[in-house]
């Protein structure tokens, strides 16, 4: 332990700081999003310094992704994709302890937007392949590297565009690793669960529109679109859909039971999961379909009853639950309301087994003898949804051993996003073992 690739470990924090300083805020709108081109060029430069060629591809002006290939020693085996997004969500400097785009290293952490989502992984991978190139290490399989744009707005101008327009770049890749997973939850000093993502819920963002009779706000009125909409929204938002245990979550709950010596009631898992800390809110959402109302829009004047009212709802369904979710929605929304999808994307799920998973497990255990890797389902979505379309098994595996008291889940898109320097170095060592064996 604690050796591993020297140069990669010594430069990973600095690389992350530099990458954070390139503001790649994705507003969801190309005219106000900047920085992805500069970030891709920066990555290209860092690869070029050690003799690794790459290509930058743009879906729209400035919306740049970079793809490179590290040739392996065994050409008979399929390549492995390692992908990370370069964009970040917005950050308001007024809310932060440090400037979100300072990339400052302070108190043993690298601070800034993207520190955990996911410039940390970008920097770890970059540091590692630079170290390999300098020291002549070659992995067994070809490794395809993709540093992509636009993940934070669904990947339409990044991963999804690459998959649709340039699938040849990923030809024959059978597996992929990226966010969100590989991080630790401390059970006790000698036991840490490492959550490896093997599944993601599907997206069903929808707009609901209710119609009614417009009229004067002072009259008696029995057909009000605002009321009809609000009733449907209230039903959706206040109904907890039934628990469904998918294979990864069955394994996850069994591991939690074993680690903590408790029994979890599958119908009421929340109480037991609370001991996992804030991550339990994400885990809880992976035990059922969800539909959270997020926006409302109706009317234009206090004394005018509008003819329509609309709402948007963030719906998420588990793998294998798409049709059941539609039935649940129909039942809750009720009559007289139109539903249209704003974004609809598939759930993904793979199994926690096979040689690649064995390698994740052994690499984590070699660097942390208290490591117990477990699969889990992510409540949100990532670029895995795009790469899975090319037939890859996708894993969230960005290894980080975290301090027991760090509220990791709240750092994603959160204020004072930061990552421990020691965790980055750990990640580099685990990735080194993993990718050398893969």
Q: Which helix (H) or strand (E) holds 78?
A: none
Q: Which is nearer to Zn ion, 117 or 432 (CB)?
A: 117
Instruction: At 272, list the tokens.
Output: 């037991």
| Backbone phi, psi, residue 427, to 5° | -60, -40
- Say how far apart CA 275 and CA 270 lie, in whole Å: 9
Q: Which is nearer to Zn ion, 214 or 414 (CB)?
A: 414
Q: Which residue is nearest to Zn ion (CB)?
A: 117
Please state the closest distance from residue 87 (CB atom) to Zn ion, in A: 9
**Environment class of 77 (CB within 10 Å of its CB; exposed 0-12, middle 13-18, buried 19+):** middle
Please state the closest distance from residue 113 (CB atom) to Zn ion, in A: 11
Q: Which is nearer to Zn ion, 118 or 249 (CB)?
A: 118
* 417 is an interface residue for Zn ion by CB under 5 A: no
Alpha helices, H only, 186-291: 225-238, 247-260, 270-273, 279-285
Contact 29, 19 (CB under 8 A): no
Q: How many residues does the chain have?
A: 438
Contact 179, 399 (CB under 8 A): no
> Which of the residues 140 through 159 are near Zn ion (CB under 5 A)?
none
* 117 is an interface residue for Zn ion by CB under 5 A: yes
Q: Which is nearer to Zn ion, 24 or 54 (CB)?
A: 24
Please state the closest distance from residue 54 (CB atom) to Zn ion, in A: 21
Question: Considering CB under 5 A, how many residues would be counted as binding Zn ion?
Answer: 3
Please state the closest distance from residue 88 (CB atom) to Zn ion, in A: 8
| Backbone phi, psi, residue 374, to 5° | -135, 150
What residue ranges in 247-378 does DSSP mark as E strands?
Answer: 290-298, 304-305, 308-317, 337-345, 348-349, 371-378
Please state the closest distance from residue 76 (CB atom) to Zn ion, in A: 33
> Which of the residues 164 through 203 are near Zn ion (CB under 5 A)?
179
Please state the closest distance from residue 163 (CB atom) to Zn ion, in A: 17
Q: Which is nearer to Zn ion, 150 or 367 (CB)?
A: 150
Please state the closest distance from residue 382 (CB atom) to Zn ion, in A: 6
* 118 is an interface residue for Zn ion by CB under 5 A: yes
Q: Which is nearer to Zn ion, 104 or 122 (CB)?
A: 122
Q: Which stretch binds Zn ion (CB under 5 A): 38-46, 109-117, 296-304, 363-371?
A: 109-117
- Say how far apart CA 280 and CA 407 lie, in whole Å: 11
Spatial neighbors of 100 by CB under 8 A, at least 6 apart, are 91, 92, 93, 112, 113, 417
* 204 is an interface residue for Zn ion by CB under 5 A: no
Q: Which residues bind Zn ion (CB under 5 A)?
A: 117-118, 179
């Amino acid at each position: 332990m604690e050796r591993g690739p020297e140069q990669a470990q010594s430069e990973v924090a600095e690389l992350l700081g530099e990458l954070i300083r390139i503001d790649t805020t994705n507003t969801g709108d190309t005219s106000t999003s900047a920085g992805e081109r500069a970030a891709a060029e920066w990555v290209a430069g860092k690869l070029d310094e050690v003799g690794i060629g790459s290509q930058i591809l743009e879906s729209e002006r400035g919306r740049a992704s970079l793809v490179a290939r590290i040739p392996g020693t065994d050409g008979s085996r399929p390549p492995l994709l390692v992908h990370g997004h370069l964009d970040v969500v917005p950050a308001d400097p007024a809310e932060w302890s440090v400037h979100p785009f300072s990339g400052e290293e302070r108190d043993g952490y690298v601070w800034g937007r993207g520190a955990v989502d996911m410039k940390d992984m970008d920097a770890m991978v970059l540091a590692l392949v630079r170290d390999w190139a300098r020291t002549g290490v070659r992995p067994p399989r070809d490794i395809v590297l993709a540093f992509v744009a636009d993940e934070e707005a669904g990947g339409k101008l990044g991963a999804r565009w690459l998959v649709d327009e340039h699938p040849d770049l990923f030809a024959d890749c059978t597996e992929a690793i990226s966010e969100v997973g590989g991080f630790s939850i401390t059970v006790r000093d000698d036991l840490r669960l490492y959550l490896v993502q093997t599944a993601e819920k599907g997206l069903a963002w929808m707009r609901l529109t209710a119609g009614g009779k417009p009229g004067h706000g002072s009259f008696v009125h029995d057909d009000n679109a605002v009321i009809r909409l609000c009733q449907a929204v209230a039903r959706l938002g206040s109904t907890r859909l039934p628990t469904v245990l998918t294979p990864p979550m069955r394994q996850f709950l069994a591991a939690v039971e074993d680690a903590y010596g408790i029994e979890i009631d599958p119908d009421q898992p929340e109480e037991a999961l609370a001991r996992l800390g804030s991550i339990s809110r994400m885990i809880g959402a992976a035990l059922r379909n969800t539909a959270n109302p997020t926006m409302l829009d109706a009317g234009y004047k206090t004394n005018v009853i509008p003819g329509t009212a609309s709402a948007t709802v963030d719906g998420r369904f588990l793998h294998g639950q798409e049709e059941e979710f539609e039935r649940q929605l129909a039942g809750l929304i009720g009559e007289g309301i139109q539903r249209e999808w704003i974004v609809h994307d598939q759930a993904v799920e793979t199994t926690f087994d096979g040689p690649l998973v064995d390698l994740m497990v052994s690499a984590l255990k070699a660097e942390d003898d208290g490591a117990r890797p477990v699969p889990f389902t992510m409540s949100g979505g990532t670029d895995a949804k795009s790469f899975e379309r090319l037939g890859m098994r996708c894993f969230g595996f960005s290894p980080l051993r975290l301090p027991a008291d760090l509220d990791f889940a709240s750092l994603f898109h959160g204020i004072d996003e930061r990552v421990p320097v020691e965790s980055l170095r750990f990640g580099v060592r685990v990735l080194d073992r993993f990718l050398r064996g893969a």
